[in-house]
Protein backbone atom coordinates (compact mmCIF):
# COMPACT_ATOMS: atom_id res chain seq x y z
CA UNK A 1 0.00 0.00 0.00
CA UNK A 2 2.76 2.47 0.91
CA UNK A 3 4.48 1.83 -2.43
CA UNK A 4 1.32 2.84 -4.30
CA UNK A 5 0.94 5.96 -2.18
CA UNK A 6 4.62 6.85 -2.73
CA UNK A 7 4.17 6.38 -6.48
CA UNK A 8 1.15 8.71 -6.43
CA UNK A 9 3.18 11.16 -4.35
CA UNK A 10 5.84 11.27 -7.07
CA UNK A 11 3.15 11.72 -9.73
CA UNK A 12 1.85 14.69 -7.77
CA UNK A 13 5.35 16.17 -7.60
CA UNK A 14 5.81 15.74 -11.34
CA UNK A 15 2.48 17.40 -12.11
CA UNK A 16 3.16 20.28 -9.74
CA UNK A 17 6.64 20.96 -11.08
CA UNK A 18 5.82 20.38 -14.74
CA UNK A 19 2.96 22.85 -14.72
CA UNK A 20 5.15 25.52 -13.11
CA UNK A 21 8.10 25.02 -15.43
CA UNK A 22 5.93 24.89 -18.53
CA UNK A 23 3.98 27.96 -17.50
CA UNK A 24 7.21 29.90 -16.96
CA UNK A 25 8.56 28.95 -20.37
CA UNK A 26 5.30 29.74 -22.12
CA UNK A 27 4.82 33.10 -20.44
CA UNK A 28 8.39 34.19 -21.18
CA UNK A 29 7.95 33.23 -24.84
CA UNK A 30 4.58 34.98 -25.01
CA UNK A 31 6.12 38.27 -23.85
CA UNK A 32 8.28 38.40 -26.98
CA UNK A 33 5.59 37.28 -29.47
CA UNK A 34 3.23 39.35 -31.56
CA UNK A 35 -0.10 39.86 -29.77
CA UNK A 36 -2.10 37.40 -31.87
CA UNK A 37 0.43 34.59 -31.44
CA UNK A 38 0.92 35.36 -27.74
CA UNK A 39 -2.82 35.07 -27.11
CA UNK A 40 -2.83 31.50 -28.43
CA UNK A 41 0.21 30.52 -26.37
CA UNK A 42 -1.13 32.18 -23.22
CA UNK A 43 -4.28 30.11 -23.57
CA UNK A 44 -2.30 27.10 -22.30
CA UNK A 45 -1.46 28.83 -19.03
CA UNK A 46 -4.71 28.19 -17.16
CA UNK A 47 -4.59 24.51 -18.11
CA UNK A 48 -1.04 24.26 -16.79
CA UNK A 49 -2.08 26.01 -13.57
CA UNK A 50 -4.78 23.37 -13.08
CA UNK A 51 -2.22 20.62 -13.70
CA UNK A 52 0.06 22.14 -11.06
CA UNK A 53 -2.75 22.61 -8.55
CA UNK A 54 -3.87 19.01 -9.05
CA UNK A 55 -0.32 17.80 -8.52
CA UNK A 56 0.14 19.82 -5.34
CA UNK A 57 -3.19 18.58 -3.97
CA UNK A 58 -2.09 15.01 -4.70
CA UNK A 59 1.21 15.71 -2.93
CA UNK A 60 -0.59 16.87 0.19
CA UNK A 61 -3.03 13.98 0.30
CA UNK A 62 -0.43 11.28 -0.30
CA UNK A 63 2.14 12.98 1.92
CA UNK A 64 -0.23 13.10 4.87
CA UNK A 65 -1.22 9.48 4.30
CA UNK A 66 2.46 8.45 4.38
CA UNK A 67 3.17 10.51 7.50
CA UNK A 68 0.63 8.40 9.36
CA UNK A 69 0.89 5.03 7.57
CA UNK A 70 4.66 4.83 7.35
CA UNK A 71 5.98 7.14 10.07
CA UNK A 72 3.22 6.94 12.72
CA UNK A 73 2.81 10.72 12.76
CA UNK A 74 4.93 13.82 12.58
CA UNK A 75 6.98 13.05 15.69
CA UNK A 76 8.78 10.16 13.97
CA UNK A 77 9.94 12.09 10.91
CA UNK A 78 13.62 12.92 10.37
CA UNK A 79 14.74 16.52 10.99
CA UNK A 80 15.38 17.23 7.31
CA UNK A 81 11.72 16.49 6.62
CA UNK A 82 10.96 19.96 7.97
CA UNK A 83 13.24 21.57 5.38
CA UNK A 84 11.33 19.60 2.74
CA UNK A 85 8.07 20.81 4.27
CA UNK A 86 9.16 24.46 3.88
CA UNK A 87 9.62 23.95 0.14
CA UNK A 88 6.35 22.05 -0.20
CA UNK A 89 4.63 24.98 1.50
CA UNK A 90 6.43 27.34 -0.87
CA UNK A 91 5.34 25.24 -3.85
CA UNK A 92 1.77 25.28 -2.53
CA UNK A 93 1.71 29.06 -2.09
CA UNK A 94 3.26 29.76 -5.49
CA UNK A 95 0.94 27.30 -7.22
CA UNK A 96 -2.02 28.99 -5.55
CA UNK A 97 -0.76 32.40 -6.66
CA UNK A 98 -0.39 31.18 -10.24
CA UNK A 99 -3.88 29.72 -10.21
CA UNK A 100 -5.37 32.90 -8.71
CA UNK A 101 -3.44 35.06 -11.18
CA UNK A 102 -5.01 33.23 -14.10
CA UNK A 103 -8.41 33.73 -12.48
CA UNK A 104 -7.80 37.48 -12.32
CA UNK A 105 -6.54 37.56 -15.90
CA UNK A 106 -9.70 35.76 -16.99
CA UNK A 107 -11.70 38.52 -15.27
CA UNK A 108 -9.85 41.13 -17.35
CA UNK A 109 -6.89 42.13 -15.19
CA UNK A 110 -4.29 41.30 -17.85
CA UNK A 111 -1.61 43.42 -16.15
CA UNK A 112 -1.14 40.59 -13.64
CA UNK A 113 0.26 38.39 -16.42
CA UNK A 114 3.62 40.09 -15.80
CA UNK A 115 4.01 38.16 -12.54
CA UNK A 116 3.70 34.72 -14.18
CA UNK A 117 7.27 34.54 -15.57
CA UNK A 118 8.50 34.99 -12.00
CA UNK A 119 6.08 32.63 -10.28
CA UNK A 120 6.66 29.65 -12.58
CA UNK A 121 10.37 29.35 -11.80
CA UNK A 122 9.66 29.76 -8.08
CA UNK A 123 7.36 26.74 -8.29
CA UNK A 124 10.02 24.75 -10.11
CA UNK A 125 12.78 25.70 -7.68
CA UNK A 126 10.54 24.90 -4.72
CA UNK A 127 9.76 21.47 -6.17
CA UNK A 128 13.43 20.81 -6.88
CA UNK A 129 14.49 21.73 -3.36
CA UNK A 130 11.66 19.67 -1.88
CA UNK A 131 12.99 16.66 -3.76
CA UNK A 132 16.55 17.37 -2.60
CA UNK A 133 15.51 17.51 1.05
CA UNK A 134 13.25 14.48 0.65
CA UNK A 135 16.23 12.48 -0.60
CA UNK A 136 18.41 13.76 2.25
CA UNK A 137 15.70 13.11 4.84
CA UNK A 138 14.64 9.64 3.73
CA UNK A 139 17.84 8.04 2.47
Per-residue pLDDT tens over the stretch 48-66: 888 889 999 999 999 999 9
Find the helix packing angle between 116-138 and 80-106, rounded to 10°.
160
Q: Is 16 in contact with 129 (CB distance < 8 Å)?
A: no
Name the pTM for this structure.
0.84
pLDDT on residue 84: 95
Q: Is 95 in contact with 54 (CB distance < 8 Å)?
A: no
Q: How far apart are CA 127 and CA 113, in angstroms?
A: 22
For 56-79, letters b (16+ CB in 10 Å) and e give bebbeebbebbbeeeeeeeeebee
Q: How far apart are CA 63 and CA 7, in angstroms?
A: 11
Sequence spans of domains, the chain = 2-138
Q: Give the tens place of pLDDT for each residue, 11-41.
A: 998 888 787 778 778 777 888 889 888 888 8
Fold (CATH) for 2-138? 1.20.120
CA triple 56-62-64, angle to 5 deg: 100
> Residue 35: how many CB atoms within 10 A of its CB?
7
Looking at the chain, list the stretches that DSSP marks H as alpha helix, in order from N- to C-terminal side: 2-31, 35-42, 45-69, 80-106, 116-138
Amino acid sequence: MNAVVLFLHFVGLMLGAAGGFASAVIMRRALAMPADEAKVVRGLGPLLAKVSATGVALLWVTGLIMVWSKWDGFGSLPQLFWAKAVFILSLTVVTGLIYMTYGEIRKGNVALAARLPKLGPLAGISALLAVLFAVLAFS
